[in-house]
Structure 1
Amino acid sequence: MQKLSENISIILGASSILLLITLFIVMLVMAYLRRDLKHLKEKETMEADFEKQLLQSQLETQEETLNQLSIEIHDNVGQLLNSTKLLIGITQRSLAESPDTLAMADETLAKAIQELRSLSKALNKEWLQQFDFIENLEAEIHRINAARNLQIHLFKPASLSLQAGAQTILFRIVQEILQNSIKHAQAKNIEIKMKEDAQLLTIYIADDGTGFNEPEVTKSVGILNVKHRTKLLGGTVEWQSSINNGTSVTIQLPVKS
């Protein structure tokens, strides 16, 4: 009888241990599944946020292009077409002479057509799908340098390995940094250096402006946008600045093979 009781106790003890082990395994599996589900949700959120930011960046870039288009049509193409009309009028009143003005009018009209073609490229629906960061950055720098308030010096590779969507977001990041220097730093020169290797793209932007106290500015909307967009691209961004010593920004992005 005593032996039976001992056997029952052993069976109960073993069953309890087995149950505890089973519960532990179940809890372990549940914890793993919860962590995996959390990671999946975070990934989905990041992907959705990336798409949202991509669309926002595309719209912002398109808006900037349309803005520039309006200025160019009014100030540049409009003037060319007015000159053409004036020259044609002169020619019509002097047909008895050699029509040199007609040739000049034709040349002016050709310039107007070239301008229109260049601008229409920016409005093409495939433009954003084939977005080239370096090409658009060079155009932005040319526009800024033309104002002669400051000069931007660019050192770049021939091309970047990033996909067009990522290049669009990167352009908005750099554009935001440049606008901060132009609006707040009172800089005379800005230097942009880009370097890409097999794993990393590094962009260094430095100005000779007034600088700032980092704790006072790092929570500004512009800087928060730059941080957020850089994070979406899987990269990092760092500022270095002090009063009267300019500001430098270093962006590092992973390069996917």
Structure 2
Amino acid sequence: MENAGDIIFLIFVSTLLFLTLALLVVVFVVLYQKRFVQQKQIIQEQETIYRQRLLESVMETQEEERQRIARNVHDDVGTLLNVAKMQLGSIRSADEHQHEKLGQLGQHLQESIDQLRAIARSLSPPVLDKLGLFKALEDLAGRTKVTGAVKVNFSGEEGNAVNRELANHLFRMIQEVFTNTLKYASPTSIQLQYESDDEGIGILFRHDGNGLIQEEVKNISDSGKAFGLDSVLSRGLVSNTRVMFGKDEEGYFVEFQHPYI
């Protein structure tokens, strides 16, 4: 009987040890998987932070290059053209026989000067630095309207001041949307609405031409064939701004909301 009891006791102890060992193995596997998931999540977060910092660095470099080119266009090339125009004026007064041809040449020079100024303003709009985002968007809408190619309506109130970095991202995104819309959408009218309060900034760009919805934008962006759209989406990511492409009964729109909640 004692031997039978000893055997039962040994079986019980062995079973208990086996179950304990099995439980330890299960706990180890669970903890390992949990740790693996946590490490994977940390790596993904670090990669996201790295990509975002890389985007910020690239965009900062691009902006500095824009400003440098704008200064060179305005200061160097613009000065040379103005000097050429002045010299042309003195030649024109001295030679009446070539008056008409020189007059045409002077007109072409003035057009070149005006175009260079427009390029410099587009690369680094002075109104953005001097007067802020609201006035810069108002100026952008006004300059588009002056071309006569499309009706443009800008509405809203300035509200709270916007820091320089965010203002630059928002302005560049809307400038790109303006450019793409005029180039590809064939609109007859554009509406730009601006709202700013303590909770954030909301900007609505609406037009009556052809357009894209969010899914189409994502597909085009994933294909790598739309640098302009990629620029808009990248700036939205870097500046924590929600960028939504859509369509309703009034037509196509692009909505910008900062911060992205």
- For Structure 1 versus Structure 2, the TM-score category normalised by the shorter chain is 0.5 to 0.7
Answer yes or no: is 1:59 the counterpart of 2:61.
Answer: yes
The counterpart of 2:246, out of the listed 240, 243, 254, is 240
1:253 corresponds to which of 222, 239, 258: 258
Alpha carbons of structure 1 residues 69 and 17: separation in structure 2 relative to 1, 3 Å: same
Task: Give 3-state SS (helix, strand or coil) of 2:243's partner.
Answer: strand
Structure 1: which amino acid aligns with 2:159?
A
Q: Distance in 2 between matches of 1:52 and 1:132?
A: 26
2:8 and 2:245 map into 1 onto residues whose CA distance is 73
Query: Greater CA deviation, 185-194 or 63-72?
Result: 63-72
Residue 227 of structure 1 is matched in structure 2 by 233
Aligned to 2:7: 5
The TM-score with structure 1 as length reference comes to 0.62
Q: What amino acid is the match of 1:55?
A: S
* In structure 1, distance between residues paired with 2:256 and 2:64: 24
Q: Is the 8 A contact 1:46 1:232 kept in 2?
A: no
Against the structure 1 CA distance between its residues 215 and 60, is the aligned structure 2 distance closer, same or farther, given a 3 Å change threshold? same
Aligned counterparts of 1:135 and 1:44: Cα–Cα separation in 2:
38
Counterpart contact for 1:54–1:165, Cα < 8 Å:
no
Query: Relative to 1, partners in 2 of residues 1:253 and 1:71: Cα closer, same or farther, differing over 3 Å?
Result: same
Deviation at 1:246, TM superposition (A): 4.4
What is the match of residue 33 of structure 2? 31
Deviation track 1:207-234 (CA, whole Å, cap 9, x = no partner) reads 2324468876653313344334434444
How many Å separate the matches in 2 of 1:15 and 1:191? 76
2:198 & 2:24 partners in 1: Cα distance? 48
Q: For residues 136 and 39 of structure 1, do their structure 2 counterparts lie closer, same or farther at Cα, with a shift above 3 Å needed?
A: farther
Report the CA distance shift for 1:68/1:164 in structure 2 as closer, same or farther (over 3 A): closer
Alpha carbon RMSD of aligned pairs, Å?
4.4
Is residue 15 from structure 1 mapped to residue 31 from structure 2 by the alignment? no
Q: In 2, are the aligned partners of 1:131 and 1:164 still within 8 Å (CA)? A: no
> Counterpart of 2:154 in structure 1: which amino acid?
H
Q: 1:198 to 1:210 in 2, by over 3 A?
A: same
Classify the secondary structure of the residue corresponding to 1:219: helix
TM-aligned CA distance change 1:31 to 1:171, over 3 Å: farther
Equivalent residue letter for 2:177: I
8-17 or 225-234, which deviates more: 225-234
Kindly report which structure 2 residues correspond to 1:157-236, keeping only aligned pairs within 5 A, or say none. Answer: 157-159=158-160, 164-196=164-196, 201-211=201-211, 219-220=219-220, 221=226, 222-236=228-242
Structure 2 vs 1, CA of residues 218 and 172 (structure 1 numbering), >3 Å: closer, same or farther?
same
Structure 1 or 2: larger helix share? 2
Deviation, 1:248, is 0.5
Rounded to whole Å, the distance in 2 between the matches of 1:223 and 1:134 is 23
Residue 49 (str. 1) matches residue 51 (str. 2): yes
3-state SS, counterpart of residue 192 of structure 1: strand
CA distance in 1, matches of 2:80, 2:144: 19
CA contact (8 A) 1:156 1:193 kept: no
Secondary structure (helix, strand or coil) at the match of 2:219 reads coil
Q: Alignment length, in residue pairs? A: 219
Indicate the SS of the match to 1:158. coil
Amino acid at match of 2:206: A
| Structure 1: segments with no counterpart, 5+ residues | 87-114
Question: What amino acid maps onto 2:47 in structure 1?
Answer: T
